[in-house]
Amino acid sequence: MQPPSAAHSRLDALTSLRFFAAFHVLLVHLGANGMLAGAPRAVQKLAAVGYLGVNFFFVLSGFVLVYAYDGRRFAARDFWQARFARIYPAYAASLLFSLPMFSWVLIHLNFPFLEWAKQHLSLTCLMVATLSQSWVPQIASAWNPVAWSLAVEAFFYLCFPLLFPALARVGRRRLLAVAAAAWAASLTLGAAYVVLAPDGVAHPTSAYENLFWLNVLRFNPLSCLPEFLVGMAAGLVFTKSRMWPGAAAWLALAGAAGFIAVVIFSDAIPYPTLHSGLLSPAFAAVIFAAALRPGWMKKLLEARWLVLLGDASYSLYLLHFTVIWMALVWLGHGAATFAGDCGVVAASIALSLASYKFIEQPARRKLRELSPGRPAAAAAGAVSA
């Protein structure tokens, strides 16, 4: 099967995968806030590494941007305008939604990782509003804690018009070498932190929120860039290859096996290594498999309701943390029950669907009407934020 070189159709299977990645991130925040105490061990184990959903988004973003813009001429300005229309309206809405909770936390709670933000509140708000907070490790998770990844994505978007023409000229074998080199760079960064222990902590975990160099490793856009490059390289291999859907089963199996193995043995893997792109090849394999659209994957992942959830997954990612905190403040220990967990999940999904319908779609259409260059149709359905 030869993927088309331009005007590609939507990859609805990838849109659905976005929902599972966003839901995985939701799980880690439920667990981190003590709301999965009664859940089965397997669920808690899966939730503990829910931050991997963000790594998946970074790889997916590179893949789908390449897919959407392959074979097309586009000006950098038009690309950036299209990306702004895609991410900023819902992002701004999420900041407004989370502002009361952020203000309440600053006033009533004394979190060490927010101390710098309190002392430099105006600068913090400015950097969060302009998608630049991830460059300052002390404020990367301020205001809306999940928004740091949008600052990383903004950097990816800034780089894409420069990276894409260079990589598009590279043959398949060299693209595989690029992906391998990018993965090696991610592993090297994680390994360097483990060996050097620059923060003086021998075995840091995701619970450590105030370690300067650990926050540089996990939040800085430059340290995340290799994952995006893996996705771009995989996307270009896809557009340059002739592959039958039968290959999807092997790719999906390999990617899923890698993910399951990491979840099972996550306690034995250093957190900096696990967080720093360890699963990039596995994620790329699953994404590649879904993009091939074999019949069995289409049945699993292209149901209308699941694609709709995938379309709303960006808002789900942006809003769920605030919903969790609102439940904890209003319900106290009552939120840490099975009913509380279900209520948070249901409220987060309902809000995300409303945001997608009434904020994302209308704002995107309006902003794109003002832009002379419009992105390929596939980008709207499958680009992760």
Tokens of 350: 């309902």
Query: Which pairs with CB-CB distance under 8 Å and at least 24 residues apart come from 354-359?
Result: 355/90, 355/93, 355/94, 355/312, 355/315, 355/318, 355/319, 356/90, 356/311, 356/312, 356/314, 356/315, 359/89, 359/90, 359/93, 359/315
Res 374 pLDDT > 80:
no
Question: Does residue 72 form part of some domain?
Answer: yes
Q: What is the pLDDT of residues 242-260, one digit of tens each?
A: 777 788 999 999 999 999 9
Instruction: Give the residue among 92, 54, 74, 53 at the shortest CA–CA distance from 6.
Output: 74
DSSP 343-384: HHHHHHHHHHHHHIIIIIHHHHHHHHHT-SS---HHHHHH--
- The count of residues in the chain is 385
CA angle 232, 148, 157 (to 5 degrees): 35
As for how many domains the chain has, the answer is 1
Average pLDDT value for residue range 368-385: 49
Question: Does residue 87 form part of some domain?
Answer: yes
Residue 153 phi/psi, 5-degree rounding, is -60, -40
Give the relative orientation of helices 221-240 and 148-168 as an angle to the nearest 10 degrees.
40
Q: What is the pLDDT of residues 311-351, one digit of tens each?
A: 999 999 999 999 999 999 888 766 778 888 999 999 999 99
Q: Which domain holds residue 61?
A: 12-96+153-175+200-207+228-382
Per-residue pLDDT at 8: 66
Residue 84 pLDDT class (50, 70, 90 cuts)? very high
Question: Does residue 131 form part of some domain?
Answer: no
Question: Does residue 132 form part of some domain?
Answer: no
Question: Does residue 133 form part of some domain?
Answer: no
Question: Does residue 117 form part of some domain?
Answer: no
Question: Does residue 7 form part of some domain?
Answer: no
Question: Does residue 368 form part of some domain?
Answer: yes
Dihedral of alpha carbons 60, 62, 67, 68, sign = positive
